[in-house]
A and B are shown apart, each in its own frame.
Chain A
Amino acid sequence: MDKFIINVIHRPELVPEYINTDAVEGKADDLGAEEVVGESLDIFRLQQDIAHRNGIKCTIQMTYAALYNDEAIALAKQYHEEFGDEIAHTFLGVNCEEFREKYGLKDPAIWLYHMDDKKRIVVDSFERFKEVFGFYPTSTGSYYMDAELIAFMKEKYPMVKIAVATCFEEGPKVFRHANNSWYTIMDGAPWTAWVPSKYNSQAIAENEEDDLGIVAVPHLSRDLLAIQDNAGDMFGTHPQNVIRGLINEGDRLPFQYNLIDQYQVMKKYNKGYSYNLIYVGPGWMGKAGRWETGYETLVKSYEDMMAYYGDLKKEGKAEDLTMTEFADWYRENKAINEPCCALWKDTLFGTKNQVFWYADSQMRATVEMKMGGAIVDLRPYASKLRRPVGAGTKANQDASYPYIVHSRYRAGPFVHYAGEGAIKSAKIRFGKEEVDLSSCRTTATYEEGDGWRKCILRPVTVEFQTLEVQIQTSYTFKENTGEIIISRKVVGSSDPTKKVVIDEFLTSCWGTTEYPEDLTGCTLSVIGKDGERNDLSYDYRCREFKTDEAATVEAVIPMVQTKVSLTPENEGCAGYYEEGYSFAPNLKIGVHKEIALDEALVSTFKIEQADGVNS
């Protein structure tokens, strides 16, 4: 397969957030202001024209307001007839006079409404769509749609095939970036198209029974390295993102092309397929400019981007589909639980940094090469966490799929003063010296086979005072099993007669933000080769246990319905747990063994749903 698919999605928002809001200037909240509606439609028309000029087909997501605007409706019909654009639906852009009169609500975010209001809006807007166009839409979207909303929509309108269901990694970093006022708190989903689970739309479905019934796509295609330590809203396939991040010089935005090209490279890690989308409203392209950038530059940035898409299409390197066409293609060509892979390289900061992302129905894992291949972000999809959001729910605005490792939110390899941060790594010991592999920068290669994907790190050198060893790490992801086979091999040594201890460990916690959550009641266990268990209920008392012959070590984090375990393949491995304390609110499990040259410590790291949930 050699397929690079692009979706260009425009939404004729009539009261876009950036044009309408200007409290400082003293403008009143006027949802029907003719000049705003007029400018919005002009921008929508311009965006459509730019795409069509470059031979690109679009998906037009009609907002609630647009469904009550004769001109927007006429334009959509005209574009459909003339260019084959899809007339679709969106839950963004609900604010308009009709909506305000009917609901008396001001929330612009469908995902934050009470469920009863969500249901009313679904039925109301879909029926209005049918009234206007004579058919129901097959694609829709918002910045976020939880599983409960999608399930209701699918039950009422089974013809829906695809939705923009989340904004990739718009979690605490983006919230902070927007002065703690942009409520897309939604870390944890795949970065590209997936079939969402009935339990949680951010997780990939496990099988037909778990299939929520749509194909989901993220709001934008983002830079998978830049977003790790920066707000994602500066690094997406949307010129406004790039300009917001000041990654331009005047009207030059080469990063925009680099981003699209890197998404083409993703074919290499996904059996010849990759997907890229842009999803824009009119608000950022107003006459008044956006951020520090003037109108002309904004328009040119969009013209340049569409021209590049157009060139790729002409060269046969990209195929432009509508959202529904893409959903049909995905269903025909991809499994429900299709894994997503990305070996992403830095093209922006001038480093050799790389990061490997893996997602399937059991987990989303991020392997960071500049931390020696440590897993720095881990989301347990296997736990099938139900997490409805919106008013009246426990999660309310926090839609993020919880992590069990997050090395940036929760310290990782570097802490101030005491304890250890959350990370999945290994330590190498020789005598009384110890080196964490997370301090050994490296790069990686990728291999794939039937039922597995492999990230192979280039060997790193660990220097002790009297010994130097080279260690090579590999991660073999066994698709949709929750298992990662981790190998740490000694591939070189300054003294082949000497052995080093390799300590494979996980320091874990749970949460969705930077702040610690309660671990009381988590269980830590060491199971010996003789079958004897030693269990501990977490209570911040700094307790530890170790056995010299461990069969497996495990931890259960009931708050996220997750069990994790490490099972060594080698004989004679020690196993341990460490409880942690309030200044180091993590739990730790590990196995270790003395390893000689050309030997490896191989262990299975498994993530699974903890017993007794969702039954």
Chain B
Amino acid sequence: MTIEVRNLVKSFGSFKALDGVDLKVDSGELVALLGPSGSGKTTLLRIVAGLDWPDSGEVFINGEDALAQGARERHVGFVFQHYALFRHMTVFENVAFGLRVQPRAVRKDEAAIRVRVKELLDLVQLDWLADRYPSQLSGGQRQRIALARALAIEPRILLLDEPFGALDAKVRKELRKWLRSLHHEIHVTSIFVTHDQEEALEVANRVVVMDKGRIEQIGSPDDVYESPASAFVHGFIGESIELPVQVEGGAVRLDGRPLALAADGLAPGASKLFVRRHDMLVGPPGSGAFEGAVRHVRNFGPVQRAEVTLSGGQTIEIDAPRDKELRAGDTIGLEPRRYRIFGG
């Protein structure tokens, strides 16, 4: 099953939640919609599910015009951020709900429903909780029951809104792995929304980075991390050093002084220089594009994080390997191993 979205626009009052979004998801993919809150990712997900309607644009699920169908007819599995479990029903009845409300003509008989629910509870490894009520479950268990409930209707596609957002850090990590292996097992085309880059990079096979109602970049987890397409993506994913620079006459200038960095193909004007923290190589004074004084050093496992004040006065944080110990007060040279410069 494929999902395609074309030129979606959606406003809430004067707030533009989606500002012309195009996206194609291939069959069997597990795609992450990643962005800060207010970037429009949940709105996009809800429109695909039929829970919201766009002002304009089109949505196709497996080539069919989804906007001609209500949420009921779309056969989309939707997992809500707060699970939206029916609290007056047992776990079993929650999972069985989608089967019980089917039109009589296609509804399974009671025995078949029992078999199916059992299968699903086995799939999420919670068959022993069938008779409990949602209030008696832990957050992670609720999450998995919500997923089983969504899968019960044999959805064409699966949509998950911040699936791990309400869980604590440890459970979140376990569930991430579990979701990936579950997806491997059932292979249903899936989109999940998250604001947590680590989650997106670890679970998804494609990441869609969104900001202010627009898609900033679509790519594999490696792509978006290694080759960010915009200043926003570089700043949002991974930890970056960000310096305001000026591109002028084929040179990159910081505070008016030219830096020993290539400016080929860059448009002139105010720009931003991005360097990953661990891509700043430390050398003797005078050896790189920058020079600075070490203010603070703290050790984080294999790296030492140093706060460095550059000669121009800007303070940055770098991650250096621990083979050469840095000390506060040292003057060092810094050379970016890799960097990107974005205009504007």
- The answer to whether A and B belong to the same complex is no
